[in-house]
Amino acid sequence: MMRIPARHVAAILLAAAMSVFLMAAMIPAGSHSQDNAVQRVSEHYLAAGVRETGAVNIVTAVLLDYRSFDTMGEAIVILAAAMAVGALLGQGRQPPAGRGLSVLVRRSIAFLVPLFWSLPAYIVVNGHLSPGGGFQGGVGWAALPIMLAVVYGAAVPARAWAHGRLPKIEYAAAFCFLGIGLFGLLHSGHFLASGAAGFPLGTPGTLPSAGAIPWLNLAIACKVMAGLSAIFFYMQRDGTLEP
C-alpha cells in the first residue's frame, strides 16, 4: 500500500482548512438579511427587468444582462473542455470510414435535416421572447453533426468539421461575446449590460428588441455547438498519431 508523504497530507489539510474558512467568511452573518436581499433582487428583476433590458423573457434578461458576466464564465468552461480534449485526443487518427445505418434511415434523415437545423435556430432567435436561448439552441445544433456521424458513418462529418473549422467557430463566437461587452464598456462604462450600455432596446415583445441580448444568444449558440461537436469528434479518434 502506497504511503502518502506527511508534507502532502499537511498541505491537503491546510488547503481544506483555508477553503472552509473562506466559505464561512463569505456566508452572511444573518440568514434573515440574506433572505431579504434575495427577495429585493428578485422583486427588482420582475418589476424592472423588461424596462431595463427590453427582454420579455426575464430568465434570459438575468442570464445575459444582469448576470451576463457569470454566463460568459460558463461559456468559457465549454471552451476549456474542448481545448483540453483536443490537446489530449486531437492528434489521433480519424475513425475509419463506416457504412453508417441503412439506406432507409439515411434517406429519412436527409429530409429531416432542415427541421433539426431550423428548430434550434428558432430557439436561439426567440430566446429573449420565449423559453430557450443560446445554450439550448447550441446543444440542438450540436446534435445535428453528431446525428449525421451516426447515420452516415463517423468519418465524413469528422473530416468536414473537426479539421480546424469547429475551433475557429468557437473562438470567433467567444471573441464576439467578449467584443459586445467591451463595446459597452468603452461606450458607456458598462460591461455586458444592454440598456445601461446604450444598446437600443426596441419595443419589448417584438423580435428586434432587447439590445445586444439576441446577438449574445447567437454567439453562445455557435460557441456551444462548436465546442460540443468538437469534443464528440475528438473522442472518436484513436490514440495513434496521424502520419
Residue 3 inside a domain? The answer is no
| Burial classification of residue 234, based on how many CB atoms lie within 10 Å of its CB (0-12 exposed, 13-18 middle, 19 or more buried) | buried
Number of domains in the chain: 1
At residue 109, the pLDDT reads 82
∠ CA(224), CA(201), CA(47), 5° rounding?
Answer: 95
At residue 96, the pLDDT reads 61
Residue 37 inside a domain? The answer is no
At residue 10, the pLDDT reads 66
Contacts of 161 (CB under 8 A, 6+ apart): 145, 229, 230, 233
Q: Which residues pair with 92 in a beta bridge?
A: 241
At residue 241, the pLDDT reads 47
SS3 call for 142: helix
Residue 24 inside a domain? The answer is no
Residue-number span of the structural domain to which 108 is assigned:
54-235
At residue 243, the pLDDT reads 46
- Grid coordinates in use for 87? 490537446
Residue 71 inside a domain? The answer is yes
Per-residue pLDDT of the chain (243 residues; tens, 9 = 90+): 445 566 656 666 776 777 676 666 555 555 555 567 667 888 888 888 888 888 898 988 888 888 888 888 888 888 888 888 877 776 666 656 666 677 787 788 888 888 888 999 999 999 899 888 889 999 999 888 888 888 877 655 555 565 567 888 888 898 898 888 888 888 877 888 887 777 888 888 888 888 889 999 999 999 999 888 888 888 876 655 444
The whole-model pTM stands at 0.76
At residue 126, the pLDDT reads 92
Residue 6 inside a domain? The answer is no
At residue 1, the pLDDT reads 45
Distance CA 98, CA 196 (A): 53
Residue 137 inside a domain? The answer is yes
Nearest to 225 by CA among 132, 145, 150: 145
Distance CA 122, CA 160 (A): 25
- Grid coordinates in use for 214? 439576441
Q: How many residues does the chain have?
A: 243
Distance CA 118, CA 134 (A): 14
Residue 231 inside a domain? The answer is yes
Distance CA 109, CA 131 (A): 27
Distance CA 192, CA 67 (A): 9
The helix, strand and coil proportions of the chain, stated in percent and rounded to the nearest 5, come to 70, 0, 25
At residue 138, the pLDDT reads 92
Distance CA 160, CA 181 (A): 32
Contact 229, 142 (CB under 8 A): yes
∠ CA(168), CA(186), CA(178), 5° rounding?
Answer: 20
| Burial classification of residue 223, based on how many CB atoms lie within 10 Å of its CB (0-12 exposed, 13-18 middle, 19 or more buried) | buried
Residue 76 inside a domain? The answer is yes
